[in-house]
Each structure stands twice: as structure tokens, then as C-alpha cells.
Structure 1
Amino acid sequence: MDDHPAPMRVLVGCETSGVVRRAFAAYGHDAWSVDMLPAEDGSNRHIIGDIRDHLDDGWDLLAVMHPPCTRLCNSGVRWLNEPPTKLNEAYSPAEIAAYAAMDREARLAFMWAKLEEGAALFSDCWNAPIPRICVENPVMHRHARERIRGWAKPQTVQPWWFGEPAFKATGLYLRGLPPLVPTDRLTRPKAGTAEHKAWSQVHRAPPGPERWRERSRTYEGVARAMAAQWGNPGVPLEMEAAE
């Protein structure tokens, strides 16, 4: 790889932490983040708004890290048959209040509507006019896959492949980008040990208003690998994919 590649224009979508934005910026790229919420680090390289309003702005790489697509995940497919009795903290206070007053049929319709919204957002990002795209999302159920234009199988990675002592299976849907190569694979602890429980902190996080934010945060080791391995626009896409 070129030691001094020309900088790319990188858009990091659905991220407030700034972890991925800062990783690409550290390699000299013109990196920006966009989300409906402000940036946690107060950066002036963060756009507050809908990512879909910025997909045509001439980016070289799009990384959508935490799209609000909970209804697309395998873990939530059961709610499409029997809706939950209440919504969790990932929803807005207005949605939570409105949902509480709904009957079963209205709640079921709400769940399916959220599926449609999530699939539409994912499709718009996945099919954006940008040569290199990564969209992060957990394993999808069949109803979600059927609604994604051009759906393709993702690469699944773990934080502990990149020096982070944690379990969090993450699906990376890649177009024009090669799969991430592990950089610092740790030794996986044995199940039932205190270390194994510590590595499972994302899944064991107690309910609370910040739980959704902490569960969606990108690990810095993963972000560094993305910037290091995908941040070379001088290499043709077909060569990148073959490496």
C-alpha cells in the first residue's frame, strides 16, 4: 500500500461518538460524521441531520456505523408476531408514550412500520452513489433481507480480533471494500470465567437511558483497522477486493 495516499472524503453516518470519524481523520482524510443528534466530542466536523440528505455530496467512502434499524435484527424478529408490552430506551419519549396507549393490533402495525423505515434507510445507504460503502448491522431476519435492495451477505467481525477485550458480533455489509483483516487477535477466555463475563459487558449492560448508546458504540481497535485498511484511494477497487 502507498505510505502517503491522497486523502479521501469520508462520511461516517449515524455516529455521535466520533470514534470512526477520528480514526479516518488521523490518517489525513477529510472525515465528517452525520447524525440526528449532536456529536459527543463537540466536533465542528459533525453534521446534525438525516444522512440521506448528504449521500450525493461527492464522498469517496461511506461508513454507516449504527443505523437505527433494530427491527431488522434477528434478535427482534419475534416482535413482528407478538409485539412487546413496552418500548425500550432506543425509541423517542414521544414514541414510548404513544405506544403505551396502543392496543395489540396497533402495536403490531407499529413494529412492521419500523421494519419498513429501517429497511428503507439501510437500502438508501447501501445503494448510495459512493464507490466504497460499509454499513454496520447485526444479523438480519428474512423479512428485512427481502426489503433491502441488492442485499448481500456481510462479513462478521468481533472486537477481540482487533485488540479489544469484548464480545460483540458485528455484521459489516461491504461494497467496493475488502473484508477487514484482524490486527491483534486476543485469546478468547473460557466460558463461565470472570474474564468471559467481563468481555460480555455489552450484552450484560443493565437497562437505562444510555444503554442503547453504549451498546452501539464502535470499538477504537475496529475503527483504526477500518481507517488503516480502507483508507487508500490510490488502489483500484478490484485490487483492494483481491488482497
Structure 2
Amino acid sequence: MEERKEHYKRTLLDLANRKDLVPGIYNYCDRWCDRCTMTQKCLTYLHEQENKIDEDSQNPDEENKNFWEQIRLAWEVTMEMIEEDADKEGIDLSDVEDFELPEHIETPLEVQARDYGINIHKWMKDHKDLFSDKAEKLVMIDDDESMFKYRDAAEVIQWYSAFIGAKVHRAHLELEQRKNDPNDEYGLYADNLGSAKIAIIAIKRSMDALSVFYSGFSEMEDEILQFLLELSQIKKQMLKTFPGVMEFKRPGFDD
């Protein structure tokens, strides 16, 4: 265990010193590494690959064990590095005053974005048999192009279902306080803008994917239109709440 922790820490520090990586590129991405073209510039991705544990896909218990092991390693190494840096700066962490984070009250927009994720996930699950039947018919007529199109659209919808709500929520954390801080010494408002921008990008991609389903599943047009309406409303309100947000430059992606 100790050897694994040392490897985890050493590879993290080695990657942090590489000049070819883009600092902070992982902060405002969509976490979809399999679809990303910038993985070789990303510390988070490369570090995960360096510390990847071979998993037995047929053994969910082992897979879960490995997942929690990675969480434990991340926590222990992070705390160890914080203590080392504090010691260098002469800071006694045992003497740091307690403080309370301000309570966050969800906005109606955050609730709407979260509910969209819950509802679209349930909708996809409830109609999986219908989607499977559609795929079988496309296979029978050798229409691979359409089959791949619907498959990709389904993957997009599912990937961003919970992601949108999470990023809309993060974009609203301490929003007024950060937006109205004339100093903003640590650039905290940039985190709101970055989170808002990737949320809007995810909304646009989800709307494009739902439009693919709309053109191919006439029996579900009303339901799909409702989801498109909800996403359109969320996007419109996000653009209103964060004026100029699409001009924000995400490291590595918008430079």
C-alpha cells in the first residue's frame, strides 16, 4: 500500500513539472476523456493512466474496491502535500481557526437543470426497449450509418444528463459575492464563468443529440420537444446570468 502511495505521489509531482502540459486544462472540460483530443496535454488524464489499476470487468466487487482505493490514495497524498507545504511556510495547521462555508441556497435554475438530468436519465431507461428495436431494424437493413448516429446521440445525452446540473450548480456558488468583489485576488469568479461555459457547451451538444432522436422517433416527438424546451430555457437563463460567458477562455480549449 505504501509503495502504491509513493508511486501515486511521485508520478503526480513528475507530471506537474512537465512544460508540455496545459495548466488547468482539466478545470473546465467535460470529463469525457474517451472523446477528448487534448488528453496528452492533461495532467489529470495522464496521472490517472499512470496509476490505473487493472480491473476485472467481470468482478464488480473488485472494480469497486479499486475505485475506493484510488479515492483513498488521492486523499492521503493531497493531505500529505498540504502538510509539507505548510511546514515549509512555517504554518501550524493545528492552529488554524475553524470557519464555516456560507450556506448555498439553490436557485430555480439549478433545480431545473438537476431535474432535467433526472428526467432524461429516466426517460432513456424507460425507452431502452424501443431504442433496441430501432437498432435491430437498422441492422436488418444494413443501415450502419443511422445506427451509429443514434448510438452516438444516445451516448451524448446520457453523458451530459447529470453533468449539466452539476456545472450549473457550481457556476452559481457564491456567485454574487465573487461577481461583485472588486479585487477578486484569487480569480474566483473565473471558476463561475468556466463552469457556466462548459455547462452551456454541454447543453448545446445535448440539444443536437436530442434533435437526432426527434427526427427518428416520431412517436416521441412531444416528449423530446419538452426536453429541448427545458434545455433551451436553461441555456437562455445561463447566458443572461453570465453575460459574455462564451468569451471566457478555457485553458487549452479556447486559447
Q: What TM-score, normalized to structure 2?
A: 0.25
Structure having the higher helix fraction is 2
Q: Which has the higher strand share?
A: 1
Larger radius of gyration, structure 1 or 2? 2
TM-score by length of 1: 0.25
